[in-house]
Chains A and B, each alone.
Chain A
Amino acid sequence: MNIKLSQFIGERCITAEQGQKLLDEIQPRLLAGEIVTIDLAGVKTLLSLFLNNAVGPLFRHFNLQQLYRLLKFENPSDSQRLTLDLVLKNAESYHRNPAIKKAVDDTLAKILEEME
């Protein structure tokens, strides 16, 4: 399946709702084992909120290596490549390793303990 994101969503991919729309389109295909390619040519703005909603929930079903194999992003700008990389790694940690989230929250508790 090939999706030209600038046509499917628009030049600016920003909101959670837009991300949900993409997720609804690609998730069934990915779960069926189909390779999905998202072409970012013509996308001027790609924000983390959009990506967190578009691909974050996929990590309930896949790990990062599996997604790298099934979900391809073509023609990202350098900036978008950075955002994609960060969002994907962050989302994997968040969904598949609850201990990391707890560790992040625990840093606040630790700060309080050190104040005692």
Chain B
Amino acid sequence: MAQKIIPIPTLNDGPKDFQMLFDIWSQVNGYFEDVSFDFSGCRFLRPNAVAFLGGLARLIESRMGKVAFDWSTLHNSWVRTTIRQNGFAGAFGDHSAPWDGTSIPYREDPIFRPDEVAEYLSENWLGKGWVHVSEALKNAIVERVLELYVNAFEHSESQIGVFSCGQYFKKLNQLQLTLVDFGIGIPANVRGYLKRVRPDLPAERLKAEDCLKWAFQRMTTTKPGKTGRGVGLDLLKSFIKVNHGILTVYSNDGYAVITEGQELYKSFSPVFEGAIFHVKLTCDEAYYCLAGETPGA
């Protein structure tokens, strides 16, 4: 198969940027692909893009393809420094070692190693002193975000695991973390579940926005089993709302935005097989509280 040269554009974290990422995915998600990613036109790369591109590269490899990032095309010094600092470049053949800075390490979890992920969140994401919170609150934040990793490994059916990356943006005073999986996606999961419990209904007609909204409600789960489930996402959602954060989720043909003031669920195109959870927290001690406390008190 002829090698595909895929340009990586400047990538921020708005809906249009995710559309561009999904366009790239749609070009290379077959089998036996031969892909070279070109950075010539890339002047900015947010952690959501780093996590996505890293996972996409492993997806291509898992489907017996070949993938390379053409480092000779990486001219933008900010992008070069950032992806060397967070270890992404080193993970894909660049001869550099990561170092400590405002980047949070790019991370691949082919299998779930809960203690390691908890340490990553606690020490690399929260523990750098950007967010001045008590130990108890740090543990609480780790608990809430760790629910996302558990959710991904429990439900995504990803064959290659989960990919994460984060960043501290000093000018915005904002901490970001993105988790990506290339599994079946939340709407597909929900439609499949309804098909199993109600085969008489046309589950394929459920809109992505309705599937996402259902998945984020308390007590909903596509894996009832013997123990009962369905609180992890609800706990995270409550935390995001209380602490003035933003949670954006893209999955299949839908997306959700959860903030203090609203929960927005919409259908989206293009379609992407998998799920992206994009968390933004403000690094202002006054914004953080545990339930029952008053912010800033």
Residue in B210, B214, B231 whose CB lies within 8 Å of A48: B231
- 30 A-B pairs in the complex with CB atoms less than 8 angstroms apart: A14-B115, A15-B114, A44-B139, A45-B118, A45-B139, A48-B147, A48-B231, A52-B231, A57-B226, A57-B227, A79-B143, A79-B291, A82-B291, A83-B231, A86-B234, A86-B235, A87-B231, A90-B228, A90-B231, A93-B219, A94-B219, A95-B228, A100-B219, A104-B217, A107-B217, A108-B206, A109-B194, A109-B201, A111-B207, A112-B203
Interface 0/1 of A46-71, CB less than 8 Å to B: 11110011001101000000000000
A77 and B136 contacting across the interface, CB-CB below 8 Å: yes
Interface 0/1 of A1-43, CB less than 8 Å to B: 0000000000010111001000000000000000000000000
Please measure, in the bound complex, the distance between the C-alpha atom of A64 and the C-alpha atom of B248, giving whole angstroms.
Answer: 35
**Which residues of chain B are near A52, meaning CB under 8 Å?**
227-229, 231
Please measure, in the bound complex, the distance between the C-alpha atom of A93 and the C-alpha atom of B221, giving whole angstroms.
Answer: 14
- Classify the interface of chain B: helix, strand, loop or mixed: helix
Please measure, in the bound complex, the distance between the C-alpha atom of A105 and the C-alpha atom of B139, giving whole angstroms.
Answer: 33
Please measure, in the bound complex, the distance between the C-alpha atom of A15 and the C-alpha atom of B136, giving whole angstroms.
Answer: 21
**Which residues of chain A are near B293, meaning CB under 8 Å?**
78
Interface 0/1 of B223-243, CB less than 8 Å to A: 010111111101100100000
B139 and A77 contacting across the interface, CB-CB below 8 Å: yes
**Which residues of chain A are near B205, meaning CB under 8 Å?**
112, 115
Q: Give me the interface of B with A, judged by CB distance under 8 Å.
A: 114-115, 118, 122, 136, 139-140, 142-144, 146-147, 150, 154, 190, 194, 197-198, 201-203, 205-207, 210, 214, 217-220, 224, 226-232, 234-235, 238, 290-293
Please measure, in the bound complex, the distance between the C-alpha atom of A21 and the C-alpha atom of B292, giving whole angstroms.
Answer: 32
| Interface residue A101 (Cβ < 8 Å from any Cβ of B) | yes
B142 and A14 contacting across the interface, CB-CB below 8 Å: no
**Which residues of chain B are near A48, meaning CB under 8 Å?**
147, 150, 229, 231-232, 235
B224 and A101 contacting across the interface, CB-CB below 8 Å: yes
A47 and B146 contacting across the interface, CB-CB below 8 Å: yes
A78 and B140 contacting across the interface, CB-CB below 8 Å: yes
A14 and B118 contacting across the interface, CB-CB below 8 Å: yes
Q: Give me the interface of A with B, judged by CB distance under 8 Å.
A: 12, 14-16, 19, 44-49, 52-53, 56-57, 59, 77-80, 82-83, 86-87, 90-91, 93-95, 100-101, 104-105, 107-109, 111-112, 115
Distance to closest chain B CB from A78 (angstroms): 4
A111 and B210 contacting across the interface, CB-CB below 8 Å: yes
Distance to closest chain A CB from B133 (angstroms): 12
**Which residues of chain A are near B231, meaning CB under 8 Å?**
48, 52, 83, 86-87, 90
Residue in B142, B210, B234, B238 whose CB lies within 8 Å of A44: B142
B228 and A91 contacting across the interface, CB-CB below 8 Å: yes
B211: nearest chain-A partner, CB-CB? A108
**Which residues of chain A are near B146, meaning CB under 8 Å?**
14, 45, 47
B190 and A108 contacting across the interface, CB-CB below 8 Å: yes
**Which residues of chain B are near A100, meaning CB under 8 Å?**
219
Please measure, in the bound complex, the distance between the C-alpha atom of A115 and the C-alpha atom of B203, giving whole angstroms.
Answer: 12
B154 and A49 contacting across the interface, CB-CB below 8 Å: yes
Distance to closest chain A CB from B211 (angstroms): 8
Distance to closest chain A CB from B207 (angstroms): 8
Residue in B154, B220, B230, B290 whose CB lies within 8 Å of A79: B290
Distance to closest chain A CB from B143 (angstroms): 5
Please measure, in the bound complex, the distance between the C-alpha atom of A104 and the C-alpha atom of B220, giving whole angstroms.
Answer: 7
A92: nearest chain-B partner, CB-CB? B228
